[in-house]
Protein backbone atom coordinates (compact mmCIF):
# COMPACT_ATOMS: atom_id res chain seq x y z
CA UNK A 1 0.00 0.00 0.00
CA UNK A 2 1.40 3.38 -1.06
CA UNK A 3 0.86 5.68 1.90
CA UNK A 4 2.43 8.93 2.97
CA UNK A 5 1.73 11.90 5.18
CA UNK A 6 2.12 15.32 3.60
CA UNK A 7 4.99 17.59 4.77
CA UNK A 8 4.29 21.11 5.96
CA UNK A 9 5.55 23.02 2.87
CA UNK A 10 2.76 24.17 0.54
CA UNK A 11 3.15 22.53 -2.89
CA UNK A 12 2.55 24.73 -5.92
CA UNK A 13 -0.94 24.55 -7.40
CA UNK A 14 -2.57 26.84 -9.98
CA UNK A 15 -6.32 27.04 -9.45
CA UNK A 16 -8.48 26.72 -12.56
CA UNK A 17 -11.86 27.56 -11.04
CA UNK A 18 -13.62 27.52 -7.69
CA UNK A 19 -12.15 24.21 -6.52
CA UNK A 20 -10.21 25.77 -3.61
CA UNK A 21 -13.30 27.50 -2.24
CA UNK A 22 -15.34 24.32 -2.57
CA UNK A 23 -12.68 22.30 -0.74
CA UNK A 24 -12.68 24.81 2.12
CA UNK A 25 -16.49 24.75 2.30
CA UNK A 26 -16.46 20.93 2.43
CA UNK A 27 -13.77 20.97 5.09
CA UNK A 28 -15.53 23.56 7.24
CA UNK A 29 -18.80 21.61 7.11
CA UNK A 30 -17.39 18.11 7.57
CA UNK A 31 -18.47 16.96 4.10
CA UNK A 32 -16.70 14.28 2.02
CA UNK A 33 -15.29 15.28 -1.34
CA UNK A 34 -14.89 13.34 -4.60
CA UNK A 35 -12.44 14.39 -7.32
CA UNK A 36 -13.14 13.17 -10.86
CA UNK A 37 -10.77 13.53 -13.78
CA UNK A 38 -8.14 12.00 -16.06
CA UNK A 39 -4.75 10.72 -14.97
CA UNK A 40 -2.14 13.37 -14.30
CA UNK A 41 -4.45 16.42 -14.39
CA UNK A 42 -3.60 17.63 -10.88
CA UNK A 43 -6.05 15.92 -8.50
CA UNK A 44 -3.41 14.70 -6.06
CA UNK A 45 -1.43 17.92 -6.20
CA UNK A 46 -4.63 19.84 -5.44
CA UNK A 47 -5.24 17.81 -2.28
CA UNK A 48 -1.60 18.15 -1.19
CA UNK A 49 -1.80 21.89 -1.72
CA UNK A 50 -5.06 22.34 0.20
CA UNK A 51 -3.97 20.12 3.08
CA UNK A 52 -0.71 22.01 3.51
CA UNK A 53 -2.42 25.37 3.09
CA UNK A 54 -4.86 24.54 5.87
CA UNK A 55 -2.13 23.06 8.08
CA UNK A 56 -3.79 19.67 8.14
CA UNK A 57 -2.04 16.32 8.14
CA UNK A 58 -2.75 14.29 5.02
CA UNK A 59 -2.80 10.52 4.69
CA UNK A 60 -2.72 9.46 1.03
CA UNK A 61 -3.58 5.91 0.04
CA UNK A 62 -3.00 4.71 -3.53
CA UNK A 63 -5.83 2.22 -3.97
CA UNK A 64 -5.33 -1.05 -5.86
CA UNK A 65 -7.00 -4.39 -6.52
CA UNK A 66 -5.84 -5.97 -3.28
CA UNK A 67 -6.58 -3.04 -0.98
CA UNK A 68 -9.03 -4.24 1.66
CA UNK A 69 -10.95 -2.62 4.49
CA UNK A 70 -8.42 -4.08 6.94
CA UNK A 71 -5.61 -2.23 5.14
CA UNK A 72 -7.43 1.03 5.85
CA UNK A 73 -8.71 0.28 9.35
CA UNK A 74 -5.81 -1.69 10.82
CA UNK A 75 -4.99 -5.17 12.05
CA UNK A 76 -3.36 -7.14 14.83
CA UNK A 77 0.34 -7.78 14.26
CA UNK A 78 2.77 -10.03 16.11
CA UNK A 79 5.58 -7.99 17.62
CA UNK A 80 8.12 -9.34 20.07
CA UNK A 81 6.02 -12.40 20.73
CA UNK A 82 2.94 -10.32 21.55
CA UNK A 83 -0.09 -9.41 19.50
CA UNK A 84 -0.47 -5.66 19.03
CA UNK A 85 -3.18 -3.66 17.28
CA UNK A 86 -1.86 -1.25 14.62
CA UNK A 87 -4.13 1.43 13.18
CA UNK A 88 -4.43 1.76 9.42
CA UNK A 89 -4.28 5.16 7.67
CA UNK A 90 -8.02 5.75 7.73
CA UNK A 91 -8.22 5.06 11.46
CA UNK A 92 -5.24 7.32 12.15
CA UNK A 93 -6.84 10.11 10.14
CA UNK A 94 -10.09 9.77 12.10
CA UNK A 95 -8.33 9.70 15.47
CA UNK A 96 -6.14 12.71 14.59
CA UNK A 97 -8.77 14.78 12.79
CA UNK A 98 -6.66 14.64 9.64
CA UNK A 99 -7.46 14.33 5.92
CA UNK A 100 -7.58 10.86 4.37
CA UNK A 101 -7.23 10.82 0.58
CA UNK A 102 -8.13 7.61 -1.27
CA UNK A 103 -6.60 7.91 -4.73
CA UNK A 104 -8.42 5.91 -7.45
CA UNK A 105 -10.88 4.56 -4.89
CA UNK A 106 -12.74 2.38 -7.42
CA UNK A 107 -9.65 0.18 -7.68
CA UNK A 108 -10.05 -0.99 -4.07
CA UNK A 109 -11.98 -4.09 -3.04
CA UNK A 110 -15.72 -3.81 -2.51
CA UNK A 111 -15.51 -4.19 1.27
CA UNK A 112 -13.88 -0.75 1.42
CA UNK A 113 -17.17 0.86 0.41
CA UNK A 114 -18.92 -0.66 3.42
CA UNK A 115 -16.39 1.02 5.70
CA UNK A 116 -16.74 4.41 4.02
CA UNK A 117 -20.51 4.73 4.12
CA UNK A 118 -20.84 5.55 7.86
CA UNK A 119 -18.09 8.16 7.48
CA UNK A 120 -19.86 9.89 4.60
CA UNK A 121 -23.22 10.60 6.20
CA UNK A 122 -24.41 12.32 9.35
CA UNK A 123 -23.01 9.54 11.55
CA UNK A 124 -19.35 10.24 10.66
CA UNK A 125 -18.33 7.07 12.45
CA UNK A 126 -15.77 4.34 11.88
CA UNK A 127 -16.48 0.91 13.35
CA UNK A 128 -13.46 -1.21 14.24
CA UNK A 129 -14.93 -4.68 14.65
CA UNK A 130 -11.66 -6.27 15.77
CA UNK A 131 -11.31 -3.98 18.79
CA UNK A 132 -14.98 -3.19 19.38
CA UNK A 133 -14.36 0.54 19.00
CA UNK A 134 -16.71 2.96 17.31
CA UNK A 135 -14.82 6.13 16.51
CA UNK A 136 -16.70 9.38 15.93
CA UNK A 137 -14.80 11.60 13.53
CA UNK A 138 -13.86 14.96 15.07
CA UNK A 139 -14.69 18.20 13.22
CA UNK A 140 -11.25 18.28 11.58
CA UNK A 141 -11.53 14.92 9.85
CA UNK A 142 -12.14 14.98 6.10
CA UNK A 143 -12.51 12.12 3.64
CA UNK A 144 -11.47 12.77 0.04
CA UNK A 145 -11.54 10.22 -2.79
CA UNK A 146 -10.69 10.37 -6.48
CA UNK A 147 -11.24 8.32 -9.58
CA UNK A 148 -10.94 8.51 -13.34
CA UNK A 149 -14.38 8.19 -14.99
CA UNK A 150 -12.72 7.41 -18.33
CA UNK A 151 -11.39 4.10 -17.00
CA UNK A 152 -14.64 2.90 -15.47
CA UNK A 153 -16.21 -0.34 -16.62
CA UNK A 154 -18.96 -2.64 -15.44
CA UNK A 155 -16.68 -4.43 -13.00
CA UNK A 156 -14.99 -1.32 -11.61
CA UNK A 157 -17.18 1.69 -11.18
CA UNK A 158 -18.46 3.73 -8.29
CA UNK A 159 -22.02 2.88 -7.42
CA UNK A 160 -24.51 5.78 -7.42
CA UNK A 161 -25.32 5.00 -3.79
CA UNK A 162 -21.69 5.72 -2.91
CA UNK A 163 -21.10 8.57 -5.35
CA UNK A 164 -24.08 10.51 -4.02
CA UNK A 165 -22.56 10.61 -0.55
CA UNK A 166 -19.86 13.02 -1.76
CA UNK A 167 -19.60 16.55 -2.98
CA UNK A 168 -17.83 16.31 -6.33
CA UNK A 169 -15.44 18.35 -8.46
CA UNK A 170 -14.57 17.51 -12.06
CA UNK A 171 -10.96 18.17 -13.00
CA UNK A 172 -9.58 18.44 -16.51
CA UNK A 173 -6.30 19.49 -18.04
CA UNK A 174 -5.73 23.21 -17.48
CA UNK A 175 -6.00 25.87 -20.14
CA UNK A 176 -2.76 26.44 -22.09
CA UNK A 177 -1.72 29.60 -20.26
CA UNK A 178 -2.22 27.92 -16.88
CA UNK A 179 -0.51 24.72 -17.98
CA UNK A 180 2.48 26.69 -19.26
CA UNK A 181 2.85 28.34 -15.85
CA UNK A 182 2.53 25.00 -14.05
CA UNK A 183 5.05 23.16 -16.26
CA UNK A 184 7.53 26.04 -16.05
CA UNK A 185 7.20 26.25 -12.27
CA UNK A 186 7.59 22.51 -11.71
CA UNK A 187 10.40 21.86 -14.20
CA UNK A 188 12.47 25.01 -14.12
CA UNK A 189 12.31 25.27 -17.92
CA UNK A 190 11.78 28.78 -19.24
CA UNK A 191 8.34 29.76 -20.54
CA UNK A 192 9.54 30.20 -24.13
CA UNK A 193 10.57 26.53 -24.32
CA UNK A 194 7.58 25.30 -22.32
CA UNK A 195 5.10 26.93 -24.69
CA UNK A 196 5.62 24.56 -27.69
CA UNK A 197 5.61 21.62 -25.31
CA UNK A 198 2.17 22.57 -23.99
CA UNK A 199 1.01 23.22 -27.56
CA UNK A 200 2.10 19.67 -28.43
CA UNK A 201 0.13 18.35 -25.45
CA UNK A 202 -2.98 20.12 -26.69
CA UNK A 203 -2.60 18.63 -30.17
CA UNK A 204 -2.20 15.12 -28.75
CA UNK A 205 -5.34 15.51 -26.62
CA UNK A 206 -7.29 16.61 -29.67
CA UNK A 207 -6.26 13.60 -31.75
CA UNK A 208 -9.09 11.34 -32.87
CA UNK A 209 -9.09 7.93 -34.52
CA UNK A 210 -5.93 6.82 -32.71
CA UNK A 211 -5.50 4.06 -30.15
CA UNK A 212 -4.92 6.39 -27.20
CA UNK A 213 -6.94 5.79 -24.04
CA UNK A 214 -6.09 9.28 -22.82
CA UNK A 215 -4.21 12.33 -23.98
CA UNK A 216 -0.84 13.26 -22.55
CA UNK A 217 -1.02 14.30 -18.89
CA UNK A 218 0.34 17.50 -17.41
CA UNK A 219 2.58 15.24 -15.33
CA UNK A 220 4.24 13.83 -18.46
CA UNK A 221 4.75 17.32 -19.87
CA UNK A 222 6.51 18.25 -16.63
CA UNK A 223 8.71 15.16 -16.97
CA UNK A 224 9.65 16.15 -20.52
CA UNK A 225 10.34 19.74 -19.52
CA UNK A 226 12.49 18.56 -16.61
CA UNK A 227 14.63 16.47 -18.96
CA UNK A 228 14.98 19.37 -21.38
CA UNK A 229 15.89 21.76 -18.56
CA UNK A 230 18.58 19.27 -17.55
CA UNK A 231 20.19 19.46 -20.97
CA UNK A 232 18.58 16.56 -22.85
CA UNK A 233 17.63 17.16 -26.47
CA UNK A 234 13.96 17.82 -27.20
CA UNK A 235 13.52 14.74 -29.40
CA UNK A 236 15.01 12.37 -26.82
CA UNK A 237 13.09 13.98 -23.96
CA UNK A 238 9.77 13.70 -25.80
CA UNK A 239 10.50 10.12 -26.80
CA UNK A 240 11.14 9.10 -23.19
CA UNK A 241 8.50 11.23 -21.45
CA UNK A 242 5.66 11.41 -23.97
CA UNK A 243 5.76 9.00 -26.89
CA UNK A 244 6.86 5.80 -25.13
CA UNK A 245 4.58 6.24 -22.09
CA UNK A 246 1.52 6.98 -24.23
CA UNK A 247 1.53 3.93 -26.47
CA UNK A 248 3.28 0.68 -27.40
CA UNK A 249 1.67 0.68 -30.83
CA UNK A 250 4.28 1.40 -33.51
CA UNK A 251 1.84 3.19 -35.81
CA UNK A 252 0.67 5.44 -32.99
CA UNK A 253 4.26 6.22 -32.03
CA UNK A 254 5.05 7.17 -35.63
CA UNK A 255 2.04 9.48 -35.71
CA UNK A 256 3.13 11.09 -32.45
CA UNK A 257 6.64 11.66 -33.80
CA UNK A 258 5.15 13.28 -36.89
CA UNK A 259 3.18 15.56 -34.61
CA UNK A 260 6.35 16.48 -32.72
CA UNK A 261 7.97 17.40 -36.04
CA UNK A 262 4.98 19.56 -36.97
CA UNK A 263 5.07 21.49 -33.69
CA UNK A 264 8.82 21.85 -33.39
CA UNK A 265 9.54 22.15 -37.12
Q: What is the 3-state secondary structure (H, E, C) of the chain?
A: CEEEECCCCCCCCCCCCCHHHHHHHHHHCCCCEEEECCCCCCHHHHHHHHHHHCCCCEEEEECCCCCCHHHHHEEEEEECCEEEEEECHHHHHHHHCCEEEEECHHHCCCHHHHHHHHHHCCCCEEEECCCCEEEECCCCCEEEEEECHHHCCCCCCCCHHHHCCCEEEECCCCCHHHHHHHHHHHHCCCHHHHHHHHHHHHHHHCCCCCCCCCCCCHHHHHHHHHHHHCCCCHHHHHHHHHHHHHCCCHHHHHHHHHHHHHHHC
Comparing C-alpha atoms, which of 77, 194, 205, 90 is closest to residue 142?
90
pLDDT in the model for residue 152 = 56
Comparing C-alpha atoms, which of 178, 171, 170, 172 is closest to residue 198?
178
> Measured between alpha carbons, how far is 241 from 34 in angstroms, rounded to an integer?
29
Neighbouring-strand partners of residue 146: 35
| Contact present, 107 and 118 (Cβ < 8 Å) | no
> Measured between alpha carbons, how far is 86 from 149 in angstroms, rounded to an integer?
34
**Spatial CB neighbours of 38, under 8 Å, sequence gap ≥ 6:** 148, 150, 171, 172, 173, 214, 215, 217
pLDDT in the model for residue 3 = 54
Q: What is the mean pLDDT of each run of 10 residues along the chain (265 residues)?
A: 58 93 96 94 95 96 94 91 93 97 93 92 93 94 92 67 94 94 97 97 82 86 98 97 94 93 92
> Measured between alpha carbons, how far is 72 from 221 in angstroms, rounded to an integer?
33
pLDDT in the model for residue 7 = 47
pLDDT in the model for residue 154 = 47
pLDDT in the model for residue 206 = 87
Neighbouring-strand partners of residue 147: 36
Amino acid sequence: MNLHAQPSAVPYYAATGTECALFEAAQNNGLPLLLKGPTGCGKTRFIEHMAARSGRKLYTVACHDDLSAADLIGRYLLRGGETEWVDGPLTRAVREGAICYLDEVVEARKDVTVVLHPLTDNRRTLMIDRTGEELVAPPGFMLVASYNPGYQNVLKRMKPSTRQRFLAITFDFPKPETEIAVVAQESGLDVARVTPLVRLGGHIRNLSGMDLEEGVSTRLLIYAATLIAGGMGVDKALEAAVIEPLSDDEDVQIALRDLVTTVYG
